[in-house]
Amino acid sequence: MSANKNTKLKVGLFGIGLEAYWKQFNGLETRLAGYLNQIAKGLERFDADVINLGLIDTPEKAFEAGDAFKMANVDILFLYVSTYALSSTVLPTVRKANVPVIVLNLAPSAAIDYQAFNNMKDRTKMTGEWLAYCSSCSVPEIANVFSRTKISFFQITGTLNDDGHVWKEIEEWVEAAKVAKIMYYNRLGVMGNYYGGMMDIYTDLTLQSSTFGGHIEVLEIDELSGLRNQVSEKEIEYKLTEIFELFDVQQDCKPEELKRAATTAVALDKLVDKHKLGSLAYYHRGTGNEANEITATSVILGNSILTGKNIPVAGEYEIKNVQAMKILDSFGSGGSFTEYYAMDFIDDIVLMGHDGPCHPKIAEGKIKVKPLQVYHGKIGSGLSVEMSVTHGPVTLLSVVETGNGTLKLLVAEGESVTGDILEIGNTNSRYRFSIGARNFVESWNNEGPAHHCAIGKGNIATKIKKLAEILKISFVQIC
């Protein structure tokens, strides 16, 4: 149902060398081109279209390469520094492509075989062998030129073979670029209105679009209520089957409430399909209009199902937080809506959760569906979901709107741990942090986030930091 069907990443790759070397050192060009092709094959493992333009060894070729990358609409560039090369073979390419550039300073092996090298009889061949290991030589020159021309660049230093650090870094840059592209094409629906007085969640929609890209579709809950009226009995039956397969429906859930939730879930599917939404933020009191009240108080199951299908949904019209949820989900880490619930100073943990939709793919066990006689702080009653996040490493992410009109990404890594939770029909988890619960909450609060944040599986702060670099926004990691 998401609109991000045609956003396969396009990776630009080129190497650099010095044309004068090729006639002087037999086989050097072929050898270095082979190293470049080796990198290209490695990049292809990450499900991206790789545009490999080969070795660029003259300024003229650099201009042509820039035009070619621009025409191919690449999303990220990898520059392999194979040997010494002039910065004039780099700058025209990178300036024209105008996308993030990662400089690969990769030696053929961990060290030169000094004894074998020094036993070579032909000093010309010795120089050619040395030049094959000379990848680090021109990186300072390139860095200097990039700095003076205000081009952001990032480096990966290591070896071509058997270097886990190198390929972990490359993969994370590719993943971050993919997420940036998903966000750029994402269609975010905003339906209803803010929870009155919750000033920390108010945000500038233009700032969101200028930072992440995407399109924001302003929706009315009346449309969702109208779609409910068009739902057929057969569609309700199918959705009820899906609900019982996905959730652990408790026995005290009334059939009429399950049917009400299923009807709204079908209508939500139709709304998402109609507007090609990739995420949704919503809130509506529903007072004074019975149809809208019925809709607003029965969305939790349908929104949880959508969230599990890579269309994260945030309650309380939390636009900043649904952006954070979409980022985590796009990294494959889930992304569930959460906030502080309480602190446990005996176990040194923070309890966090939220009412409303959850992310089924990151739940510890099967999610329970429970009836609530009251939605605290809101009107009405209905069904809700209760879950804990899978025990193990987690990452918290907040999209923070600063006082100077910018956005930043705030991150903390921790662990979802076992123990007692509050069984109140909401999401609820226990989190432990390396800096302790007290230091975590104070450090997190000092960065000025809204009281909501997104939680995802795994420790992925390094990936989110790379995304922030691509988006050219600030990144802060608490722990």
Task: Render 244-265 in DSSP notation, one character per residue.
Answer: HHHEEE-TTS-HHHHHHHHHHH
pLDDT at 364: 86
pLDDT at 1: 38
Question: How open is the CA angle 20-26-31, to the nearest 5 degrees?
Answer: 95
| Domains of the chain, earliest start first | 10-179 (3.40.50.10940), 186-477 (3.20.14)
This prediction's pTM: 0.94
Pairwise CA distance, residues 121 & 173, whole Å: 43
pLDDT at 374: 53
Cβ atoms < 10 Å from Cβ of 269: 20
Q: List, in sequence order, the alpha helices (H) in 74-163.
A: 91-97, 114-118, 123-132, 139-148
Helix 233-246 crosses helix 255-275 at what angle (to 10 degrees)? 100
In the block, residue with structure tokens 């009412």: 355
Q: Which burial class, exposed, middle or buried, applies to 447 when counting CB atoms under 10 A from its CB (0-12, 13-18, 19+)? A: middle
**Amino acid identity for residue 315 in this structure:** G
Pairwise CA distance, residues 284 & 33, whole Å: 60
* Percent of the chain residues past pLDDT 90, beyond the cut: 75
> HSE (CB half, 13 Å, CA atoms) of 41?
8
- HEC-encoded secondary structure of 163-230: CHHHHHHHHHHHHHHHHHHHHHHCEEEEEECCCCCCHHHCCCHHHHHHHHCCEEEEECHHHHHHHHCC
Q: List, in sequence order, the alpha helices (H) in 388-460.
A: 437-446
Beta strands in 27-97 (DSSP E): 49-56, 76-81
In the block, residue with structure tokens 């009836």: 371
pLDDT at 449: 95
Q: In which residue ranges of the chain is pLDDT below 70?
A: 1-6, 286-287, 356, 372-381, 424-425
Beta strands in 327-469 (DSSP E): 334-344, 349-354, 367-372, 382-386, 392-401, 407-417, 427-432, 452-457
143 three-state secondary structure: helix
- Tell me the helix, strand and coil percentages in the chain, rounded to 5: 40, 25, 30
pLDDT at 6: 61
Nearest to 168 by CA among 463, 469, 470: 463
Q: Which residues pair with 400 in a beta bridge?
A: 408
